[in-house]
Structure 1
Amino acid sequence: MKRVYIPSSGPSAWQAFLAKPELHWRTGYSAKTLAYCWESAGGLPPEIARMFDAPAELLLALPEYKVPLPGGSTQSQADVFALVRHADQTCAAMVEGKVNEPFDKTVTEWLNVPSDGKKLRISHICNLLGLSEQHLPQVRYQLIHRAASAVIEALRFKTDEAAMIVHSFSPDRMWFQDFAAFVDLFGLTAEPNAGVVTTLPNGLKLRLGWATGDARFLLA
């Protein structure tokens, strides 16, 4: 993980950090849409700010942020890692940008070949989030490892809470039900454009939210 970061020169600077820069940087898709939205905001996009208690302030945003997880070399790579100050709290937030892209494999599909590394990783994630493996089979793996990465960084930065927020630009809210199923694991009910909060076994608060992005950035 790099420790030195260079200030952004604009939305196009985000492209270089993508896993496949030429393939993933396309108008109407999440990577480019998200970059133009966040750069245009000059702080937190208003729909993201509404996920937090007012007033909410962006302290730092890092695109394509990687967090190591045990059980292999593949890291959890968030579209945006944001340190947010809201009310009298600080939050380490992972933001997952979407247009119509799915959340990829379910936990069952990801564990199709259950290596020792995968078993170690899923056990670690469950311990962090206070979840039982038996409740995960049809939940999207991307959602649980992204939430776990938020918790890892919240503990590392010693923030008051962690957050995992889906920043969706889909006019039809595609894949919202997958997000709602994930939130249901914590005994909570997901609603578009509203944040919900749970307290993890280690006492850390975890904030989950689905924010609807401004559709004009789909044309960027």
Structure 2
Amino acid sequence: GYGATECGPIICYRDWKTFKQGSCGQAALHQEVRIDSSDPEHVPGEILTKGPNVLLGYYKNDETTKQTIDADGWFHTGDLGLMDDDGNVFIKGRSKNMLLGSNGQNIYPEEIEDKLNSLPLVNECLVIQSGDKLIGLVHPDYDEAQNLGLNAEDIKNIMEENRTQLNAVVPAYSKLSEIRIQEEEFEKTPKKSIKRFLYTE
């Protein structure tokens, strides 16, 4: 599923028995969803939605309301995605987080992070851009490392193995040049999202 607080909170949903792999489902009941793109199936665009559960506006904040809800009543989520012919929505990432590759490619760090987070000893991670290179910042699972009797050098070697494994399954423009160990946990917002802006170069 997929949602937002402003949408009370569901936008897309699909039963686990019928959902399309990689998608977050289809528009929920009584909900409309569209992609702001000339080719929604192949070119990512902002995910827009409207329905009876969408907020009418932000309390005493007309400016934010106008920025978020357009004249036709579409709520702009700030998320980028694709939609297939069956209405399945595929989230690519946040529009404000998108990186631009050296050859003009759109890079969605969340897609890389999702894959990296599934690899050994990765507790949480962040992908940043340094010049024309992509760097993975990883806060290791130190508890697991201790249980396995691993030292700092072992962790470093495992992260290099993770980088090799990750780079084998992502496009050339999404490959990581290095993984840096983040000793402390990442600083987070009250919603437990990493404060990405603190770590960008």
TM-score, scaled to structure 1: 0.24
Between structure 1 and structure 2, the one with the greater Rg is 2
**Which of 1 and 2 has higher RCO (CA within 8 Å, sep 6+)?**
1
TM-score, scaled to structure 2: 0.25
More helix by share: 1
